[in-house]
Structures are given as C-alpha cells and as structure tokens.
C-alpha cells in the first residue's frame, strides 16, 4: 500500500511539472488547448493526492504500523476519531494535508473560472502547481509519509495526550484550509500582473476565495485560542507565541484586502494596495506554514526539522522578490485617475483601515521574527515578550475599532459638517453615555479598557443607526412591518449589512478581550483538604480529593493511567458560584527503566482544567497535585522492587493502592485560580463576526431566466432605468 | 495649494509619521528584548538585574516543588554547564526532567530567578521527521499505548 | 498484493494521461471538417458563458444602483453626488442590457478554433 502512496507522490510531481510547462506554453503561444491541459493537470493532481491521502488515512484506521507515521502518532488503543485525525499530527502527514487541500481549492477555482480570465487563469495555474509541486517535492525528497519499516512494530507510540481534544483535531484542517486558500488570490494576483490585466475581473473571480481564507483562518485562530484557554493549564487564550502570530498576520492582511477591494470596485482606487495586500497575504501564509515546522524560533510548537528550513526560505525569498518586481514593473497600470478628495471621507477611512491593519501586521511581524533580526544585526538572538506586543497592538486595536464605527456612517468623497452632524451625533451620544456609566460604576483606573468599551459602544451606535435608517428607508418604499423590512433589507444588501454584523462581532470580541485582560484576578493557592481561602470577593474551599484509574484496555477519552484532583467549592458573599473539579492526569511513559509501577505514571502529565463559564465572568482553576510525598513515593518504590514488568495487572494494583492512599491522606495541592470577566463574549463576538461574514458572502438567489423572459424583462428594466 | 501639491504634502507627512513610529518600535524592541542564551553562555555573560532567556534541558533529578516555588536546573542541550533556576508561576503540562525548556531569568547572587509565568516547555517532537522505527516491538516490555 | 497495487498505479496513470491530454487531442480533431458541428457546439457554449458573464455584470450593476440609493437615504451621499452617480450607473446598466439583447438578433456562427 505504501508503494501506491509513493507512486502517487511521484506521479503528482510529474503532473505538476507538466502542468506548469503546459500552462505557460499555452499562454505564451496563445494555444488555448495547452492552457486547458494545464488546468486539467490541476484536476489530476487533486485526484492523485486524494488517492494518496486515502491510502494514508486507511493505514491509520487499519492500524498498519508498518507505516512510520502511523507507528509514531497512533496506537491500537487510540480512539477511532483521533486515529483518523492523527494523520495530520505528524510533519509528513500535515504536508500531505496541505498539498491535498491546495489541490482541491485550486481545482475548484479553476473550474469556476474556466471560461473567463484566460491569460490570468493560465498564469495562476502555473503558480498554484508551483506551490503544489513544492510541497510534493518536500514529501518525495525530505519527509515522505509513506516510509515503512519491516517488520512492522507491534504497536504504535500513540497520540500525544495534549492533542486528545476535539478542537485540537479540527484546528489544523481549519488553519490549513485558511493558509491554502490564501494562495489562491496570490496566484491570481500574480497572474493578473503577469498578464497585465489588473482590472476588477480578477478580483471578482477570487473574492470568494479571499473571503473563505479569511473565514477559515479566523475560525482556526479562534479555535486555537479557545483550546489554549479551556485545555492548557495556563488559563490564557493568547500568548503572542510565534505560531499564534504566524496565523494572525495573513488574517490581518486578508481583512485589509476584503475592505480595500470595496473601494476599488466603487471608485477604482487603491489598486496598488490591493495587489500588494494579496501578495502579502499569500506570502505570509507560506511563512506561517514554514514557521510551525522549522525550529528557527523558540515556541511551544517549533522544534527539530531543520531539514525543511532551507527549501522554505528559498521559496519565501523567491515569492518576495517576484512580488516586489511585479508590482514595481507594473506600477503604471496600478495608478488610478481618482484621487482622495478629502481626508474626511469614506475612502480615506478605508485607507486608514488598511494602514492600521498593515501597521498591526508589521508590529507582530517585527516582534515574532525579532530573534532572527537581532541575531543578524547584533550577533545575539534576543526575544521580546507579551508586554512589548501589548504596548503597540493595544492602541492600534483601539484605533481599528474606532474606524470600524466611523466607516459605516461617514459620507463618500467629502464629509461636510452638515452630514457629520446628521450621522455622528447618535453614536457619539451612545459612547458618551457608556463612558459616564462606566465611570459612575467605579470601574477602576484602566484607561485602555474604558477606551475600548467606549469605542465598542460607538460601533454599536453607528451600526444600530445604519440598521434603523435602512429599515426606515425600506418601509418608506415598501410599506412593510419593521421585522419584514429588516429581513428584506439584509437579504437585498447582504454585503453591507453582513459586514456591519461582522463589525459588531469584532467589537464584542474586543470588549471581551479588554475586560478579561484588564480586570482579571489570578492567584496561586496552596490548599489542604477542608481548607478555604479568599481571593478577592470569592471564597474557595477544598472539599475533598478525587482519584480515578483507567485500566489498560479501557478506551476512555483521556487514557490517563491515574488522575488525581480535587473538588473545590467556590462561593461569593455566601452564595454558591461554582463547583470545580480540576485534575491532573498521569500517563504511561512506556519506559521500562522507570520501573514496573513507575512507568505507568512516568509519562506525560496533562492538566485537566475545570471552569465555570458565565455570561459575566469565567471562574477557572487548574491543580498541580503533589505525587512526590514520601508516602506515595514509597508505594512506587516498593512496587518497582517487588512487581515484575511482565505483570502489568499487579502494577496497576499498586497504582490503585496509591490512589487510595492519596484519597485518604491528600497532601497540600497547588491551585492556579483565575477569575476573568466577560471571556465568553470573546467567543460570542467571534461567532457573530463569522456569522456576519457568511451573510455577507452568501450569493443572492440566482434566477434562471429563459431568453424570451430576458428580452421582455430587459425592455421593462430599460424603461425603469431611464429616469425622467 | 493646488491638489497635486496637497497630495505630496499629505504623502510626506504620512511617510514621516510612519518612519518615526517604526523607529520608536524598533528602538524599544532592542532595549526591551531578552537575549536568548544557553546555560554556558549565561554563566559567562549574565549581569545582575538584566533579564535573559535561557534555553536548555531540565537536568534529571533537579526538580523540586516547594509549595508554589519550583526549583530545577537547566543544562546545555549538548551537556555540560548547568544553571539553577528558582521559578514561580504556571508550569506547563509537558514540563519534566529531560525536556527542553525556555525560561526568562534574572541573575541574583549565584542563582537565577525565573520570571513569573515565563516557563515554556517544548512539546515533545511532534514534527521531527520520523526516525526509522527501532524494533520497539522486540523488548517484551509492557506495550500500552494511549 | 503488489500485483494489484501495480495495476492500480497503471490505471491511475492512464486516467491522468487521458484527462490531461483531452484538450490536446480535441484541438487536433478540430481541424477536421467533420468536427464543425462540434465546433458549433463549442461556440454555443462560449456564447452561453459570455451571457452568464453579462448577467453577472448586470446583477452587480443593479446592486450598485441599490447601494447608491441606500447611501443617499442614510445620509452618506449628498443629493448632487447621488444624482450624478445614479445617472452614470443607470447608463452603464442600459449598456449591459444592450449587449445582452444584441446577440439574439444574429445567428450564432460556428467559430473555427
């Protein structure tokens, strides 16, 4: 079977090389059958990689441990869902996933544009096959998913316990979909520049894909933040880790692109911005893919695998150089006749939006790659921490939210005092009222948080005003009740009102971020059974310890051999707030040198946090139970000495004894306790934002018309169009 | 002022502002950064009061929990110099002896105080190219996966 | 086992070659007089694609007209600007409608590729 997989990869590589040649030949000589053949090469690539992916997936599901990747990331006791998802938890498997997704999206976009954009699409085909060929070559020459060992090992190592969570399994495909979708507009942008056709047509063709990239990347980022918060033992959702940043940067430029292309459509302006943003987004996506697997930056994700560094750096260098060359050499075509009439206009707000998003991206880029930059300039690698990032991103985020409130209501071309009065009074009043309410409520001296709340209120005010006026305008024309008018308004103006909903979602998200960062209460507690302590207004009591054992052949979700934890009772001013049950799971290390009992709990330790999520605040806790007390250590030592390795059942009995000892006499445990206000609104805001995005991109119902109907309705339309 | 000149002025102002802000950013990054050092470099170069990021492996047998304080030693990846660290704050799940860690520390006397919540442990190699599988099925030991 | 894998590989290779070379083979045939009918079908498909393109442009233009009106009614376009923009957009829409109607009066001619 692995042979089939390897054959597929070689065939894929051949198809990529052929397709690049055919497309370029077709477009240079004008012989469309060759461009057509090049396009079909992309379809063929998708088919071949589907077969390859299926081969790997089947190997995982069938426990074929002859495959090195299967042996390295799965085992016979891994639950089926995680087996299926373990395909992409290894370097090789993730490369295959990337290439496969790329081939699928490329096939889709080329199918949808098969009758238009002849030249542009041909160049784009070559670019996309270039990327596909790059990833396939990596698999063929550096890191093949189809390496085998003979004889096959009896069982595999199993999936890292940290990854045994549903959202961690969905997070990579989401992110990879986002990254691969970013390369589509990039390819078409390069194609448009090469074919010298930078009008609106290529944008129309790839707009849906730019949105899809934005959508999937955003969801991937949010899922990662959620996983980090709900599963990892540090209680935060964003740490400015290089890998987090790597996915955020292309998302920021994609956001800028989605906005800026509205201006190109309406006024023909910002063409240079649009091509640059598209090229930047694609390049940043490739850089993000590279960062996770290169080990050049220290982070929880990056390690080993220096073998892939050189090819990636080469690719990125080529992309950057080619992008700069293309934009500079075609700059005449990218000039516009229209200019900014006034700094106070909708066009300039969109421009400001571009600038802020790019500035944010630059700050994050600088901070993320700083170890490399400082090493290049000073010879010493140094890194900057979250405080540095916060110092610059917080004010920029404030400006961004403010702009998202001004944009919807400011006039085109030139905002006069008269229409400023008409459009800004209500939102400003809402913001002012919020400010007064916050100060009145005695919310502490946290200027940035207060500023963010007021900006968010401003956004809500301005978007609310837009909806209100829109409904009023519709009712003036159509005499409908308000709810119907609202639905009709949104349905007929999806892009506009969907976009407004995205702004509301983002403002909500930032409110959650501001509140949970500025007003968070975190503490380290040492508690013994029965003991209670106060943290702010909350009283926490260690009620009793918990211990569970998972027998070897139990296909339990966590798979930890031993889980030790506690039950905590949290009250506030006498009223019960939550009962928390944090625990720490100790996993088998499979290492006989730790002893017949020691190995059962000598492997990975994973903290299972306990959280009570509420609309106004989250109460979160993690436990670090102490298993190194003399009493418990004695159990392990005696077990190691007396129980032979080949009697795992007896070893487990010793573990059970240990658990009972822990329950009877629990040592003091360390608790990490956090109260974060408004965290839930981050997830709610994200959900609203993405729902709004879907509304914005949803195609209007296409009506099928016959020619006769078209002719007569065209005449009717013409007479309607010709106004007196 | 004619429109063309107005545009040039605007562009100049905007670019100058960008340059000024970027310079501020770049300057603060160099001054706020913690150099990343290995334990051997740390023992030679560390000055009291400055913060450094030390990367290395956790020395076997050096891990002690004392209430909320964690004591451990970090050694060079290639072995050799070890550096004792006293750390408070969140301890990541994968932390254990032999794992690679990154922690920001400040020199105090002969010890290094770890900055709160700055401990990072590298996930065990998820993305290392799979080495040719050793005959792990042949040792006869208990074979339990997850 | 390896026979079936070899067979599967050969089949895959054959399918890929067939799919990828289809346009090249079709182009070779198009110079053949008997394939004029196929050429005619091809031309008809082309003009259908052009129609779809024009219809998309028409819908986009209608959307722009509605957008401009909404902008005016919610205070983002002044009366003079709205009148100018609206007039221009409607003229462009009529242009598109003209192009949509025109081909129906001609007979579709088979195009030589």
- What is the residue-wise DSSP string for C37-72? HHHHHHHHHHHHHHHHHHHHHHHHHHHHHHHHHHHH
Among A176, A294, A388, pick the best mutation site for testing chain B contact (most B Cβ within 10 A). Answer: A388
Sheet holding A521-527, edge to edge: A521-527, A669-677, A617-624, A610-613
- Residue numbers of C between 25 and 54 with CB closer than 8 Å to A: 26-27, 46, 49, 52-53
CA distance A364 to chain B (A): 11
Q: Does A625 lie at the interface with B, CB-CB under 8 angstroms?
A: no
Cβ pair B126:A606 closer than 8 A? no
Neighbours of B73 (CB within 10 A): 20
Indicate the residue of B36, B53, B146 with minimum beta-carbon distance to A559: B146
ipTM of the complex: 0.78
- Residue pairs between chains A and B whose CB atoms are closer than 8 Å: 198
Assess whether the previous peptide bond of A151 is cis (omega < 30° from 0): yes
Indicate the residue of C52, C70, C86 with minimum beta-carbon distance to A470: C70
> Which subunits count as partners of chain B given 3+ CB pairs below 8 Å?
A
CB A221 within 8 A of CB A158: no
Which residue is closest to C46 within chain A, CA to CA? A115
pLDDT at residue B62 in the model: 82
Indicate the residue of A370, A604, A645 with minimum beta-carbon distance to B29: A370
Cβ pair A384:B142 closer than 8 A? no
Cβ pair A115:C46 closer than 8 A? yes
Which of A216, A206, A72 shows the shortest CA–CA distance to A148?
Answer: A72
- Sorted by sequence, the CB contacts under 8 Å of residue A375 that are 6+ apart come out as A381, A382
Which of A686, A516, A526, A511 shows the shortest CA–CA distance to A611?
Answer: A516
Helix axis angle, A200-231 to A680-697, nearest 10°: 160
In chain A, what's the furthest Cα-to-Cα distance?
A: 102
* Residue C105 in this model has a pLDDT that exceeds 70: no
- Residue numbers of A between 288 and 327 with CB closer than 8 Å to B: 292-293, 298-305, 307
Bridge partners of residue A203, in order along the sequence: none
Cβ pair A162:B121 closer than 8 A? no
Indicate the residue of C12, C21, C22 with minimum beta-carbon distance to A48: C12
pLDDT at residue A693 in the model: 93
CA distance A335 to chain B (A): 14
Between C83 and A375, the more confident residue is C83
- What is the residue-wise DSSP string for A429-459? HHHHHHHHHHHHTT--S-HHHHHHHHHHHHH
Which of A545, A555, A633 shows the shortest CA–CA distance to A597?
Answer: A633
Alpha-carbon torsion (A52, A55, A60, A61), positive or negative: positive
Question: In the numeric block, which tokens belong to residue A537?
Answer: 């207004």
Which chain C residues contact residue A705 at CB under 8 A? 55
pLDDT at residue A115 in the model: 79
CA distance B101 to chain A (A): 9
Cβ pair A33:C26 closer than 8 A? yes
> What is the end-to-end Cα distance of chain C in Å, rounded?
47
> What mean pLDDT is reported for chain C?
78
Between B125 and A85, the more confident residue is A85
Neighbours of A558 (CB within 10 A): 18
pLDDT at residue C57 in the model: 81
Q: Does C83 lie at the interface with A, CB-CB under 8 angstroms?
A: no
CA distance A209 to chain C (A): 18
Cβ pair A75:B22 closer than 8 A? no
CA distance C37 to chain A (A): 18
Q: Does A160 lie at the interface with B, CB-CB under 8 angstroms?
A: yes
Q: Does A25 lie at the interface with C, CB-CB under 8 angstroms?
A: no
- Residue numbers of A between 392 and 421 with CB closer than 8 Å to B: 392
* pTM, full prediction: 0.88
Q: How many helices (H) and strands (E) does chain A have?
A: 22, 11
Among A37, A202, A464, pick the best mutation site for testing chain C contact (most C Cβ within 10 A). Answer: A37
CB B53 within 8 A of CB B103: yes
If you average pLDDT over residues C81-101, what whole number do you get? 88
Which of A268, A429, A125 shows the shortest CA–CA distance to C64?
Answer: A268
What is the C-alpha separation between A68 and A92, in angstroms, rounded? 10
Which of B72, B71, B74, B92 shows the shortest CA–CA distance to B83?
Answer: B74
Indicate the residue of A34, A44, A473 with minimum beta-carbon distance to C74: A473
Which chain C residues contact residue A700 at CB under 8 A? 59
What are the DSSP E strand ranges found in B1-146? 34-37, 51-58, 64-66, 69-75, 82-88, 100-108, 111-114, 120-121
β-pairing, A538-549 vs A562-572, is: antiparallel
> What is the distance, to the nearest Å, from the Cα of residue C58 to the centroid of all Cα atoms in its chain?
13
pLDDT at residue A595 in the model: 81
CB B75 within 8 A of CB B56: yes
Chains B and C touch (3+ CB pairs under 8 A): no
β-pairing, B34-37 vs B51-58, is: parallel
Cβ pair A31:C70 closer than 8 A? no
Which chain A residues contact residue B65 at CB under 8 A? 624, 626, 628, 670
CA angle C89, A703, C49 (to 5 degrees): 75
Among A26, A488, A718, A722, pick the best mutation site for testing chain C contact (most C Cβ within 10 A). Answer: A718
pLDDT at residue A362 in the model: 94
Q: Does A700 lie at the interface with C, CB-CB under 8 angstroms?
A: yes
Cβ pair B90:A235 closer than 8 A? yes
Indicate the residue of A71, A303, A388 with minimum beta-carbon distance to B127: A303
Q: Does A266 lie at the interface with C, CB-CB under 8 angstroms?
A: yes
Cβ pair B144:A588 closer than 8 A? yes
pLDDT at residue A434 in the model: 93
* Residue B96 in this model has a pLDDT that exceeds 80: no
- Sorted by sequence, the CB contacts under 8 Å of residue A325 that are 6+ apart come out as none
pLDDT at residue C35 in the model: 55
Measured CA to CA in angstroms, residue A538 lies from A333, A524, A545, A618, A675 at distances of 64, 14, 20, 12, 9
Bridge partners of residue A570, in order along the sequence: A540, A578
Cβ pair B33:A382 closer than 8 A? yes
Which residue is closest to A50 within chain C, CA to CA? C12
β-pairing, A669-677 vs B51-58, is: unpaired
Q: Does C22 lie at the interface with A, CB-CB under 8 angstroms?
A: yes
Which residue is closest to A416 within chain C, CA to CA? C78
Cβ pair B146:A76 closer than 8 A? no
CB A15 within 8 A of CB C12: no
Identify the segments of chain A with pLDDT beneath 70.
162, 294-308, 444, 551-559, 701-720, 722-724
CA distance A218 to chain B (A): 24
Q: Does A531 lie at the interface with B, CB-CB under 8 angstroms?
A: no
Indicate the residue of B26, B68, B126 with minimum beta-carbon distance to A524: B68
Alpha-carbon torsion (A125, A126, A131, A135), positive or negative: positive
Cβ pair C16:A33 closer than 8 A? no
CB A384 within 8 A of CB B28: no
* Residue C8 in this model has a pLDDT that exceeds 50: yes
Per-residue pLDDT tens digits for B2-60: 777 877 888 888 889 889 988 988 888 888 888 888 888 888 888 887 888 888 888 88
Q: Does A713 lie at the interface with C, CB-CB under 8 angstroms?
A: no
Which chain C residues contact residue A47 at CB under 8 A? 15-16, 19
């Amino acid at each position: 079977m692995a042979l089939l997989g390897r054959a597929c990869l070689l065939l894929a590589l051949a198809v990529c090389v052929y397709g690049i040649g055919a497309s370029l030949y077709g477009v240079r000589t004008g012989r469309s059958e060759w461009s057509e053949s090049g396009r079909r090469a992309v379809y063929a690539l998708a088919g071949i990689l589907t077969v390859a992916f299926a081969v790997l997936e089947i190997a995982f599901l069938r426990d074929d441990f002859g495959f090195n990747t299967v042996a390295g990331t799965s085992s016979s006791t891994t639950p089926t869902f995680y087996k299926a998802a373990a395909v992409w938890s290894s370097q090789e498997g993730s490369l295959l996933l990337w290439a496969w997704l790329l081939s699928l999206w490329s096939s889709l976009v080329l199918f949808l544009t098969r009758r238009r954009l002849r030249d542009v699409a041909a160049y784009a085909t070559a670019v996309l096959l270039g990327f596909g060929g790059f990833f396939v070559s990596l698999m063929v020459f550096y890191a093949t998913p189809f390496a085998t060992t003979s004889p096959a090992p009896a069982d595999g190592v199993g999936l890292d316990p940290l990854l045994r969570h549903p959202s961690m399994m969905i997070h990579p495909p989401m992110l990879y979909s986002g990254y691969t979708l970013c390369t589509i507009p990039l390819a078409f942008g390069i194609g448009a520049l090469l074919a010298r056709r930078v009008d609106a047509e290529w944008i129309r063709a790839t707009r849906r894909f730019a949105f899809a990239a934005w959508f999937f990347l955003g969801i991937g980022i949010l899922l990662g933040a959620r996983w980090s918060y709900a599963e990892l033992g540090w209680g935060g959702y964003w740490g400015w880790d290089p890998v987090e940043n790597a996915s955020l940067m292309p998302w920021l430029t994609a956001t800028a692109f989605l906005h800026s292309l509205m201006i190109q459509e309406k006024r023909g302006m910002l063409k240079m911005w649009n091509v640059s943003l598209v090229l930047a987004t694609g390049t940043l996506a490739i850089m993000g893919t590279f960062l996770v697997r290169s080990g050049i930056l220290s982070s929880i994700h990056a390690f080993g695998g220096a073998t892939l560094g050189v090819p990636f750096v080469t690719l990125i260098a080529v992309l950057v150089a080619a992008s700069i060359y293309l934009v500079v050499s075609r700059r005449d075509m990218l000039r516009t006749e229209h200019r900014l009439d006034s700094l106070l206009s909708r066009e300039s707000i969109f421009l400001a939006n571009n600038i802020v998003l790019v500035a944010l991206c630059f700050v994050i880029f600088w901070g993320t790659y700083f170890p490399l930059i400082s090493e290049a300039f000073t010879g010493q690698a140094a890194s900057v921490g979250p405080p540095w990032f916060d110092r610059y991103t917080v004010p920029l985020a404030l400006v961004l939210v403010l702009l998202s409130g001004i944009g919807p209501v400011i006039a085109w071309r030139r905002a006069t005092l008269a229409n400023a009065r008409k459009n800004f009074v209500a939102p400003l009043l809402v913001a002012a009222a919020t400010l007064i309410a916050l100060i009145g409520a005695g919310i502490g001296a946290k200027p940035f948080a207060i500023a963010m709340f007021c900006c968010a209120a401003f956004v809500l005010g301005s978007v609310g005003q837009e909806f209100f006026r829109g409904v009023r305008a519709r009712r003036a024309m159509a005499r409908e009740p308000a709810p119907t008018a609202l639905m009709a308004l949104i349905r007929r103006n999806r892009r506009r009102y969907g976009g407004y909903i995205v702004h509301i979602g983002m403002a909500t998200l930032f409110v959650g971020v501001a509140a949970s960062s500025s007003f968070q209460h975190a503490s380290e507690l040492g508690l013994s059974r029965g003991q209670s302590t106060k943290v702010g207004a909350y009283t926490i009591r260690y009620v009793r310890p918990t211990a569970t054992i998972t027998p070897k052949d139990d296909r339990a979700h966590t798979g930890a051999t031993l889980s030790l934890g506690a039950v905590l009772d949290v009250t506030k001013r006498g009223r019960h707030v939550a009962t928390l049950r944090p625990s720490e799971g100790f996993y088998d290390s499979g290492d006989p040198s730790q002893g017949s009992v020691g190995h059962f709990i000598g492997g990975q330790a994973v903290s299972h946090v306990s959280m009570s999520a509420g609309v106004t605040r989250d109460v979160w806790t993690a436990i670090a139970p102490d298993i190194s007390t003399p009493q418990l250590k004695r159990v392990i030592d005696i077990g190691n000495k007396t129980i032979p390795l080949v009697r795992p059942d007896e070893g487990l009995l010793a573990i059970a004894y240990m658990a009972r000892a822990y329950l009877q006499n629990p040592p003091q445990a360390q608790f990490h306790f956090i109260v974060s206000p408004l965290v839930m609104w981050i997830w709610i805001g994200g959900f609203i934002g993405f729902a709004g995005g879907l509304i914005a991109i949803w195609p209007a119902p296409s009506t099928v018309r016959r020619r006769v109907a078209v002719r007569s309705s065209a005449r009717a339309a013409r007479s309607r169009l010709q106004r007196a | 002022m004619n429109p063309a000149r107005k545009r040039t002025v605007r562009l100049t102002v905007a670019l100058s502002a960008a340059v000024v802000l970027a310079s501020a950013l770049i300057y603060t990054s160099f001054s706020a950064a913690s150099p990343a050092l290995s334990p051997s470099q740390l023992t030679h170069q560390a000055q009291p009061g400055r913060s450094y990021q030390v990367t290395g492996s956790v020395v076997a047998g050096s891990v002690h929990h004392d209430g909320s304080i964690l004591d451990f030693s970090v050694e060079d990846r290639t072995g050799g110099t070890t550096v004792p660290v006293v750390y408070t704050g969140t301890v990541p799940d994968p932390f254990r002896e032999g794992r690679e860690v990154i922690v920001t520390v400040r020199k105090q006397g002969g010890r290094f105080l770890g900055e709160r919540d700055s401990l990072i442990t590298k996930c065990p190699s998820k993305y290392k190219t799979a080495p040719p599988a050793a005959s792990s099925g042949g040792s006869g030991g208990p074979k339990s996966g997850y | 086992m390896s026979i079936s894998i070899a067979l599967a590989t050969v089949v895959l290779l054959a399918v890929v070659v067939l799919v990828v070379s289809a346009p090249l083979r079709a182009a070779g045939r198009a110079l053949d007089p008997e394939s004029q009918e196929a050429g005619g079908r091809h031309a008809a498909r082309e003009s259908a694609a052009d129609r779809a393109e024009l219809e998309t442009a028409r819908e986009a233009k209608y959307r722009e007209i509605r957008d401009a009106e909404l902008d005016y009614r919610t205070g983002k376009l002044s009366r003079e600007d709205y009148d100018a923009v609206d007039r221009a957009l409607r003229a462009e829409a009529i242009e598109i409608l003209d192009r949509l109607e025109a081909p129906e009066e001609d007979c579709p001619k088979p195009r030589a590729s």
